[in-house]
Amino acid sequence: MAKTGSKDPLAPKASRPRAKASSTPRPAKKAPPATESAPAKSTQPPPSAPLSTSAWQIRDPAEFAANMVRVGTQAQKLIGAFVRHQRERALREPVDPLNFTGAFFELARGLAANPAALAKAQGELWHSYAELWERTARTMLGEKSEPLVAPRPGDKRFRDPDWQQLQVFDFIKQSYLLTANWLQETVANIEGLDAREKRRIEFFTKQFADAIAPSNFILTNPEVLRTTLSSNGENLINGLKNLLDDLERGGGDLAIRQSADSFRIGENIATAPGKVIFRNDLIELLQFSPTSPTVYRRPLLIFPPWINKYYILDLKPENSFIRWMVQQGYTVFVVSWVNPDAGLAHKTFSDYMHEGVFAALEAVHAATGERRVNAIGYCIGGTLLSAALAYMAASNDDRIAAAVFFAAQTDFSEAGDLSLFIDDTQLKALEQSMTAAGGVLKGSKMAATFNMLRANDLIWSFVISNYLLGKEPLPFDLLYWNADTTRMPAATHLFYLRRFYRDNALATGRLTLDNVRLDLSRITIPVYLQSAREDHIAPCRSIYKTTQLVGGPVRFILAGSGHIAGVVNPPAAQKYQYWTNSALPERFDNWMEGAEEHKGSWWPDLVAWLGPLSGDHVPARVPGDGGLRALGDAPGTYVKVKAQ
């Protein structure tokens, strides 16, 4: 096939800098996790502006002093409340739920086993520091000098001009980048460690490097320091208020507000018209109103993840996948999962299959008279759908005619950084935490884990904006949805983590539900697999493995962007791209070599595939006019239940 664009869209956008200048890339297997900076080549202007400018002067010294007293008083109260909360939390939850101690014990052991390598690495770091001092000195004397190290493209932490134009902050920035890169490179070079434990160490090392960035502190962030002086410290007072509000909202845990609270479910978000036509303990089933006189005979049933709420597929009219599919002539049904409380803590993964997948199939049949449907599963909803299909295949149940999977894994052998949170020590700590919470996993706990995967974008950028600069977050529908978390029953969640992530039992044929062994190769219906090249939750290489596991015809596509934007990409936006290849070799890299790039959204590709599998056209179905009466308007009641 003819190819356009990059041969491999997963290739790094810029090679990682070394502790000292070098143009020789490291072997891929030695590379640490995502790093901080790019090679020391930059078009940034040399530092030149002096510190003594009006922007750096205190506007009203008396007001500034008074505000600093207020900040100090509020900070003391905040620290006191935090200490009390941590003391109470230690009585009911594990002290080290992520097993940091075990990871860094292994790190210390690895470093001690090879002191010569550590000494060499330290020597390289000091050499880099000396070179940085030399370049900085030449710049101070008026010479032009390229920076020794620069932030990698896309690193938003150092966008303020003063990081480049003021010598002191340029030096702080480069010192940090050198140290962070050296730290991650040194850890990546440690030998003799278990491969999985080494990945955990690298991940936590990056978390540490992100946390100590100078952009996260008042005195070493030029924008924050400048704002503090020019506003007489009002930004810090506002920031402390935001921090206290977030702590109160999180019940003592820090629930960072990522979007303004300007969205109302059913009013300006999740507004696709429809009805609730079925309800049980676990689901509300929504049927959406048609926009065309005729529709495909075969209904379309969507199973979103229960980790978040269904309206990621119905944010705004212009980016609503649900609305778009209705416009293409489909009768669309969507499962809206309950936000479970302690009363549902006993619900199992099998219950989610029976009361979720199978109950929805029966309800669609009752509502439309159509026994067979096409189904979509998104993320964990797709994993459930794949397990249900294998279960159905064992009993020759053919009610699902074709299946589409959005960012959904069945083989967890390369499941990305989320798998680093799944070991016996962490699972035991998680079980203890859920028991203390009444048998459910708090939504805020899962949100914190996902945020750690993109800490600079989803944690530290808001720490700077909300707490240091004292700004209110802007309204952003995607981030509002991201923070609208749900709880999960302990029985379901622990089964999922242990049997899928830890044991990879589904892919290896060792998973049973209700004493039925699940064999993915018995799934012979047509399957469409969507993945995204920058997905940090369900990596595309992991999703590709499903092509080798199921027994029927498969179409695999790779979309641009990540876990959310890679899915929610309407054609009208004309954003990103996707890759296709009709061949399905064993390895993803070989598939990518023959893939063809297409500009824009992959949604039309899905419709082109799904249309011929959807039957002829029939008169449009109005929700509530079929075999099931309407129980209320979409988006229903389950989606509106808030929880931390």
Kindly list the catalytic residues.
379
Query: What is the spatial distance between Cα 179 and Cα 36, in angstroms, rounded to a whole number?
Result: 10
Query: What is the spatial distance between Cα 371 and Cα 590, in angstroms, rounded to a whole number?
Result: 39
Alpha helices for 459-570 (secondary structure H): 461-462, 477-483, 490-495, 540-544
Helices (H) and strands (E) in the chain, counts: 21, 19
Q: What angle do CA 10, 40, 173 make, to 5 degrees?
A: 100
Alpha helices for 93-158 (secondary structure H): 100-112, 115-140
Can you read off the two tokens belonging to residue 9? 């869209």
Question: 562: closest CA among 255, 309, 312?
Answer: 312
**Sign of the torsion angle spanned by Cα atoms 557, 563, 565, 569:** positive
Report CA-CA distances (Å) from 235 to 1, 379, 459, 474, 632: 56, 39, 19, 16, 46
The DSSP-derived string for 305-359 is: -SSS-GGGGSSSGGG-HHHHHHHTT--EEEEEE----GGGTT--HHHIIIIIIIH
Burial of 39 (0-12, 13-18, 19+ CB in 10 A): middle
Helix (H) or strand (E) holding 385: helix 380-394
The DSSP-derived string for 198-254 is: HHHHHHHHHHHHHHT-GGGSGGG-HHHHHHHHHTTTHHHHHHHHHHHHHHHHTTTS-
Query: What is the spatial distance between Cα 411 and Cα 140, in angstroms, rounded to a whole number?
Result: 56
Report CA-CA distances (Å) from 107 to 118, 156, 181, 527: 12, 30, 17, 43
